[in-house]
């Protein structure tokens, strides 16, 4: 099992829960073992959250760390689209996923391998499935 801290902010808790889906299935630990990276995730219109991967530990902090290895920005609607099966490359090409330090291609690909399946699991378990709050 992966060792997580207990974030106290809403985005941090959400990301922790997303990653927890994969961790409970035993899928997360092999992906993060010996991975020493700092990734910033920003939900547009909200605030950034930093994920620090250190061996089998993930620390989630409610801020943008200086010196990050990768930064990914997207809207909550884009996260919902990914959870419904939209491809991350398609969302990137449409300009809905923005990436800083994209030249760290290995870091980007591994992070997508960690987060996109977690979003899909959440989509399967949740009731959102592409509906808007007005539906």
State the pLDDT at residue 127.
54
Instruction: Please give the mean pLDDT across all residues of the chain.
Output: 88
Closest CA to 119 of 45, 30, 20: 20
Sketch out the chain's domains with CATH numbers. Answer: 3-122 (3.30.1050.10)
Strand partners, 99: 72
d(CA 76, CA 84): 12
What's the pTM value of the predicted model, to 2 decimals? 0.86
Give yes or no for residue 109 having a pLDDT over 60.
yes
Q: Per residue in 32-70, pLDDT tens?
A: 998 999 999 999 999 999 999 999 999 999 999 999 999
Task: Give, in order, the Cα–Cα distances in Å from 59 to each of 3, 19, 49, 83, 124.
Answer: 8, 12, 10, 23, 26
- As to burial, measured by CB atoms within 10 angstroms (0-12 exposed, 13-18 middle, 19+ buried), residue 6 is exposed
């Amino acid at each position: 099992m992966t060792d997580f801290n207990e974030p106290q902010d809403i985005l941090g808790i959400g990301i922790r829960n997303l990653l927890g889906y994969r961790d409970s299935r035993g899928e997360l630990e092999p992906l993060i073992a010996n991975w020493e990276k700092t990734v910033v995730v920003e939900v547009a219109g909200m605030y950034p959250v930093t994920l620090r991967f250190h061996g089998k530990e993930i620390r989630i902090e409610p801020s943008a760390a200086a010196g990050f290895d990768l930064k990914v920005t997207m809207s909550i609607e884009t996260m919902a689209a990914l959870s419904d099966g939209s491809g991350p490359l398609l969302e990137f090409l449409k300009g809905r996923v923005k990436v800083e330090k994209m030249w760290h291609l290995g870091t980007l690909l591994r992070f997508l391998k960690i987060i996109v399946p977690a979003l899909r699991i959440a989509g399967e378990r949740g009731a959102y499935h592409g509906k808007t709050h007005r539906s």
